[in-house]
Amino acid sequence: MTQILVHEVGPRDGLQAEAQVVPTETKLDWLRRLVASGVDIVQVGSFVHPQKVPQMADTDALFLALSQAKRPGDATLSGLVLNEKGLERGLACGVEMYCMGVSASETHSRKNTGMGTDDATRRIIVTALEAVKAGREVQVSVQSAFGCGFEGAIPEERVMGIVTAYFEAGLTAVSLADTAGHAHPAQVARYVGHILTMNPTARVTAHIHNTYGVGMANVYAALEAGATSIEASFGGLGGCPFTKVAAGNVATEDFVHALQRNGHRPDIKLDALIGVARDVASFFVRDLPGCVYKIGPIAPSA
């Protein structure tokens, strides 16, 4: 494994399914600490209709506040967009990296975007190319890549067909999202390897949910197969509100703790990540799925 990028998605994927809306100032406090923690990318929010996902109603304001106060070395600010309107909003408020994707599950795609997979793929590619034209970094994803709570197994060729469409459009930063948490390590390794065989210059990200308790195993399977970036959420919070079973992500602080135990990414301030996870748990008045924020990290060897 070479340099491993850490993409913190808690402010978006972690919060989107929560009924209790977090005040903007509270979010900004968490975000500022995450942005300065040494992680590479922080996903500030998503540009969706506030009636569908009320927790994301202040995404534009958050980006404006953070982009105006950025310092050298701060994390890249990413945002999730689903369509052209989201791109327009993002361009107006300081999004640096656009994350957009398509579900390989027809059912999940329609619940999430109101479109089938084929129509969504065409639309997302057009939107992604507009972002590239505007000089922004773009990552495209395949959601429900490893299975779907509604449909069960998703054919591998369907997933790779979407990836092929991305590559043909010149989009080579690809995320495989385990939206339903159905992935297992051998499958993750095979899919990542398949993509890198198709395009050895591709940058592969893994977005892993821990629905069935194999999240960290899947993360390491992705890394060992050649993925270079992992998306994780503070405290392991999160889950797609439009999938059948919304369950948490791999916890960012757990993942960073594991990396640092192996000598990777000592530059990331683990205590900062733990502090945010503890504050998020305190805000929601419940334990989050993560481990390290509750029991503390293992001290580095002398």
pLDDT in tens, 15-43: 988 989 999 999 999 999 999 999 999 99
Residue 182 sits in a domain of what CATH number? 3.20.20.70
**Domain assignment of residue 300, yes or no:** no
Residue 168 maps to a domain: yes
Number of alpha helices (DSSP H) and beta strands (DSSP E) in the chain: 11, 8
Is there a domain that residue 302 lies in? no
Which is nearest to 238 in space by CA: 210, 214, 265?
210
Average pLDDT estimate for 149-160? 90
Whether residue 301 is contained in a domain is answered as: no
Residue 201 forms part of a structural domain: yes
Q: Calculate the CA 96 to chain-centre distance.
A: 15
* Residue 97, beta-bridge partner list: 78, 137
The tokens of 48 are what?
């969706």
159-173, 197-211, 249-263, 288-302: segment of lowest average pLDDT: 288-302
CA distance 228 to 250: 16
**Residue 168: burial class (beta carbons within 10 Å; 0-12, 13-18, 19+):** exposed
Share above pLDDT 70 across residues of the chain, in percent, rounded to a whole number: 95
Residue 190 backbone dihedrals phi, psi, to 5 degrees: -65, -45
Residue tagged active-site, from 93, 99, 148, 240: 240
pLDDT of residue 244: 47
**What is the sign, positive or negative, of the torsion defined by CA atoms of 198, 201, 203, 208?**
positive
| Phi and psi angles of residue 181, each rounded to the nearest 5 degrees, phi first | 75, 25
pLDDT of residue 52: 84
Domain membership of residue 223 as a residue range? 5-295
Asked if 291 is an active-site residue, the reply is no
**Count of the separate structural domains present in the chain:** 1
Band of pLDDT at residue 215, cut at 50, 70 and 90: very high
The closest of 116, 124, 118, 122 to 141, measured between CA atoms, is: 124
Give the CB-side neighbour count of residue 276, counting CA atoms within 13 A: 30
166 belongs to a structural domain: yes
Q: Report the C-alpha gap between 17 and 245 in whole angstroms.
A: 11
pLDDT at 239: 64
Distances (CA, A) of 5 to 75, 78, 98, 248: 11, 14, 16, 20
Average pLDDT, the chain: 93
